[in-house]
Amino acid sequence: MSLLIRNARVIDSASGLDGLRTILVDNGRIAAIAEASACFRAEDEIDASGLWLFPGAVDLAAWLREPGLDQKATLESETRAAAASGITTLCYQPEPGASFDSAAQVKLIYDLNGRRRSANVEVLGNLTKGLKGEQLSNMASLKRAGCVGVTNGLQPFHSLQTLRRAMEYAATHDLTVFIYPIEHALAAGGYMHEGEVSTRLGFPAIPSAAETVAVAQTLALASHTGARVHFCRLSARLSVKLIRQAKESDLDITADVAAHQLFLTEMDVSDFNPLCHVMPPLRSSRDLEALREGLADGTIDAICSDHQPHEVDAKLAPFQQTEPGISALETLLPLTLRLVDEGVLSLPEALRKVTAAPARIIGSEAGRICVGAPADLVLFDPDDLWELDLNRMYSDGKNTPFAGWNFNGAVKRTLLAGKSVFVG
């Protein structure tokens, strides 16, 4: 089926586009890009006057829960939420209750998602069996099954030697190692950032050194093994500095940050708000500013949601007894674009941080608008003002501290391989 999109402002920094264009889609891919006045014919047509058109977002971290943790969310509910949020590709983050040791487990995810496909789902395989940090997984088999990388998530390694062997094995199969930098011996028993607020509240705390020590160790091993490493969810000021220095040394590394770390700090925990219980923890305002600077200068490559939907009960206990995580698909794009309003990033650069940059990290052909690229596209109304209402969220998880926030601009249509999977 062919589709014509007319009169949209097409924005894509990867292809250098920013202006009114006509886009022709055929057989799920972009067939032609021309001036807005171009005369094309297609079976269907959309007049996108007043709207922006940009690539669908690529989210590097979504905890999709199914199978194994279906009481929190399902693939159907979360991919539907992704489509409504302008996200067309999700990276499934493994966790102890839902992880990927075998090709059969990976295939199951593809099969489940294929039944009602609202977004592409890419899988990060286990770096060690069962994420237990002891025996290495069969990475060759996981790559053949389609995994775009391997990770141990938030689970510890038995030793640095295990991590070294895992990185060497991944390097032989050209697999990116996704590392959550956390030194568990320093973080053990902590719930929030170590600082004045944690002292006042009397909470066991996690020092920023728990992250920066792990970053330094991993950088040393990356240099030794030659592995390609992606650092997940940076939160600390010194971590940004270490990554910046390592990039200047030409190590094959990339890094991301969760969108909520760019707007919330330890002060948001001061009223014991369990919705602000996240891992890594919300840190100081100085850390937040360093993360923003790292985004602006290219040290941090991508912004992700770190979407962790929970059932209501998971956030009803006292702060230290609640499960960490934010339901974040529906705020990824709004928070990223707020960085434009606040002068942190230009509009093309902000969009690149959630499209072309994460797509490159997972080796995907998505995330750009050019002839031959997948027609995974978003039509966006920049003038639509709205408020995040928990009762109108598409995700099964309603655990977000951003309820009641006002945002500028809303997704009006999401296309996956040229087919509308959301119309707002």
Which residues are the active-site residues? 306
Q: How many CA atoms lie within 13 A of 222 on its CB side?
A: 24
Phi, then psi, of 303 in degrees rounded to 5: -110, 135
Helices (H), ranges, 182-263 = 184-187, 196-201, 209-225, 237-248
- Residues linked to residue 258 through DSSP beta bridges, in sequence order: 304
Rg of the chain taking only CA atoms, in angstroms: 21
DSSP β-ladder status, 253-258 and 17-26: unpaired
Among candidates 182, 197, 181, 171, which has minimal Cα distance to 319? Answer: 197
CA distance to 58, 172, 283, 347, 376, per residue, from 122 (Å): 10, 21, 30, 26, 15
Closest Cα to residue 173, out of 240, 125, 221?
A: 125
The tokens describing 380, both together, are: 């966006």
Hey, which residues does 45 pair with through a beta bridge? Answer: 4
Q: Which residues pair with 255 in a beta bridge?
A: 231
Q: Kindly state the tokens that stand for 101.
A: 């040791």
User: Which residues 6+ apart lie within 8 Å of 394 measured at CB?
Assistant: 77, 80, 81, 84, 85, 329, 330
Residue 424, SS3? coil
Q: Which residue has the tokens 């792990």?
A: 214
Residues 9 and 18: beta-carbon distance below 8 Å: yes
* DSSP-assigned beta bridge partners for residue 95: 98
